[in-house]
Amino acid sequence: MAGDLDTIDRALKTHKRRSRMVSAAIILLGLVAVAAVMLRPERRRARAASDLEIGADSTAVIQALGTPPSRCMGAGVDHLVSEFPSDVPRASRDATLLRLRRATAARWLYPGRGGCRPAPDETEVGIDSAGRVLWVLPATGRVPLVYTEA
């Protein structure tokens, strides 16, 4: 092991102490980069959205995700067609999309950067007319749509 460190020191043309400091700095930067990716607000929001129960009251959404920055009309759900899990047959997907289109009274988008048009990695929650969670899209383009069959 000591011979390996000497080889590294010679390759870096530095002393043991300095090479260890450089190594520690590289490891620290790597850990910071990993933490930055894992702790991004989008990832935290997607995890919180994944924990929402279908049928839960909209107050549960506000408790988990906060006040929605974008509240949108419910009719615009056609973009969900590409968000279904890949194993859902087309006929099932089309029937579910029709049901969701009819039952969704409002769509809440987090953080709602593009208004009512969800951007990649945004979280979207469909609310029915009774104020209950009808469907959840934890992360647009990354985590599939969560819903229940009729």
Whether residues 109 and 77 share a domain: the answer is yes
Comparison of pLDDT for 103 and 42, the residue scoring more: 103
Domain span at residue 56 reads 41-147
* 55-82 per-position pLDDT tens digit: 999 999 999 998 888 899 887 899 999 9
Rounded CA separation 50/133 (Å): 12
Whether residues 133 and 119 share a domain: the answer is yes
Looking at residue 38, what is its pLDDT?
54
* 43-56 per-position pLDDT tens digit: 788 888 888 999 99
Whether residues 8 and 55 share a domain: the answer is no
Comparison of pLDDT for 19 and 70, the residue scoring more: 70
Q: How many CB atoms lie within 10 A of CB 95?
A: 13
Whether residues 48 and 85 share a domain: the answer is yes
Whether residues 29 and 45 share a domain: the answer is no
Q: How many domains would you assign to the chain?
A: 2
Looking at residue 35, what is its pLDDT?
57
Whether residues 112 and 99 share a domain: the answer is yes
Whether residues 113 and 99 share a domain: the answer is yes
* pLDDT value at 11 more than 70: no
Whether residues 75 and 132 share a domain: the answer is yes
Which of 12-21, 43-52, 67-76, 99-108: highest mean pLDDT? 99-108
Whether residues 19 and 66 share a domain: the answer is no
